[in-house]
Structure 1
């Protein structure tokens, strides 16, 4: 379920220090029952996964369209991401956090940044946007609450236009099935 941005900003997450120039695009709560002991297992699942391998046919189709558009418009070409257009946020990490996150799977377009006891961040950059997927757990009224936040820094007007254009598709067809997938997958680790 989508939750207010304040649920992310009110906590003193490390990502706020690492990416203060990024905008919080979305925050979602994932009913998974994760704990500090099971959080790393969920992170391993996420890092090893492929975002275009959703159980949702619509979501898979939208990811396929996005990757096709990336090829047509060269959005994902070499030099368009953290290998040229922007510096990786890994350069902003304290030395003790480097190499704390599990390696990404071969199909993942994300580059893991860091893992702590209660947060994980991974980044993606291309010609349209530099984005961060932030996963966290925090004490709640009934155990721990798992949240996923998406932070972005669009690349100019074209990046802002692209983000505005895909917003309704993200809310209707990408995030809801993704949250359901994560909830089902991670609940086997948690208490839910």
Structure 2
């Protein structure tokens, strides 16, 4: 379920300290009920080879189109990634986060882990259109239970990013992210029921 952006912006996440030039694109509730220390279990779920990740056919189609476009137009070339013009968010981290756990890089999409704490995990991707971050926050339900929320943060790059990102937003909100959210929930329930 999509949440108001305030579900992210009004929480005292550490990421707020160094991501002021990014916009909150969306915030989503994840069906990942657990205990206070279970974020690490969720993060490990992302560390697999993707074989248990079962998104919808529309999700797969839209990503196939995006990767094909990126290859044809050179959007994902190394020169558009992390580098002097677009430094990693890791370069912004305070010493305590920089010296702490990083978390896994994703294998199914080109996202690199930035940092991990007991209640936050952040990954990033940089290409010709955007510098984006995925923030997974572990939130207290107020009844001794916890679950995750996912925020998508973006810094659009150039004219291409300012045109491309709003153009794909409806597809992301209708097809891509809901499918991702459901797949994360299914994987969580499968892994925690064993």
> What is the TM-score normalised by the length of structure 2?
0.90
Q: What is the root-mean-square deviation of aligned Cα atoms in Å?
A: 1.8
Distance change >3 Å, CA 138–CA 16, structure 1 → 2: same
Give structure 2 stretches of 5+ with no counterpart. Answer: none
Distance change >3 Å, CA 55–CA 111, structure 1 → 2: same
Which runs of structure 2 are paired with 1:22-33 in the superposition (5 Å)?
22-33=22-33
Give 1:90's aligned residue. 90
Give 1:177's aligned residue. 179
> What is the TM-score normalised by the length of structure 1?
0.91
Separation (CA, whole Å) in 1 of partners of 2:136 and 2:168: 21
SS at match of 1:28: strand
- Deviation, structure 1 residue 42: 0.8
Give 1:103's aligned residue. 104
Give 1:113's aligned residue. 114
- Deviation, structure 1 residue 66: 0.5
Give 2:74's aligned residue. 74
Separation (CA, whole Å) in 1 of partners of 2:36 and 2:6: 22
Give 1:10's aligned residue. 10
Distance change >3 Å, CA 129–CA 56, structure 1 → 2: same
Give structure 1 stretches of 5+ with no counterpart. Answer: none
Distance change >3 Å, CA 49–CA 13, structure 1 → 2: farther
| Counterpart selection for 1:161 from 160, 163, 170 | 163
Distance change >3 Å, CA 54–CA 126, structure 1 → 2: farther
Separation (CA, whole Å) in 1 of partners of 2:167 and 2:84: 25
Cα deviation, 1:88-126, whole Å, max 9, x if unaligned, reads: 010111223235122324443001000001010000000
Give 1:44's aligned residue. 44
